[in-house]
Structure 1
């Protein structure tokens, strides 16, 4: 008797991953960012590097927090620390692991190289409230 059903396992995993994340994640794009701000959307700019353990820890915490329905309108723009240097200058960012929250065009806060879940949650709340 074969009880392993790959298709069922895959579809269940896809449903769970979709339901577990209310926020939308996108690669940083200047036009999309400007559009989100003009629409008054809550936005998080996540300055990341693939090799950064702090960035990985932040992402883990962000994923947990944004699973809540309160974050269903949040857009998380991932800004690549290694490749998007002009955007780093635009946001006055000097290191990876920087998180910047916006409510529309207004910056509501930023944290740098911080992994404390409470501080990350406070930052995210500042964008959605």
Structure 2
């Protein structure tokens, strides 16, 4: 005989077995060679310049995690730049502060946000990494 706890566990386990698969985009620390290779391949790219002490970065992080898990971003390459420890990359991207997000398709920058924590704005920026939404 099943206990109430066992029954609840079985129902939860069964319901999650049929859930849609998650498309978690891999977040990679920025390095110039990998970035150049992604650009050369014409890949969709997001660069997030962040700092652990930055409140806007902390607000962006869960929004980015949620949005990049959507199937339309399964091919996105998501690089993170540490604002405090990767100053060459910070200068390369012309970021004056952390919480800068830069979108690319290959070698073309398609959009940029600075200190924006609105889900709709971040979603619109991510959409600009898709060739059919360039602009």
TM-score of the aligned structures, taking structure 1 as reference length: 0.83
Partner of 2:51: 49
Q: Which residue of the partner structure matches residue 103 of structure 2? A: 101
Q: Deviations over 1:68-120 (max 9, x none)?
A: 11000001100000011111111111100000000000000000000000000
Aligned equivalent of 1:29: 31
Q: Which ranges of structure 1 fall in alignment gaps of 5 or more residues?
A: 4-18
Structure 1 residue aligned with 2:41: 39
* CA pair 21-48 structure 1, distance change in 2 beyond 3 A: farther
Moved segments of 4+, more than 2 Å: 19-22
Name the residue aligned to 1:74: 76
User: Bigger shift: 96-105 or 86-95?
Assistant: 86-95
* Number of residue pairs aligned between Structure 1 and Structure 2: 115
Q: What is the TM-score with the length of structure 2 in the denominator?
A: 0.79
* Preserved CA contact (<8 Å) 1:49 1:80: yes
Mapped to 2, the partners of 1:122 and 1:38 lie a distance apart of 24
Q: Which has the larger radius of gyration?
A: 2
Q: Which residue of 2 aligns with 1:125?
A: 127
2-structure distance, mates of 1:74, 1:39: 12
In 2, the alpha carbon distance for the partners of 1:115 and 1:21 equals: 22
Unpaired segments ≥5 residues, structure 2 = 6-20
Give matches, 1:9-28, under 5 Å. Answer: 19-28=21-30
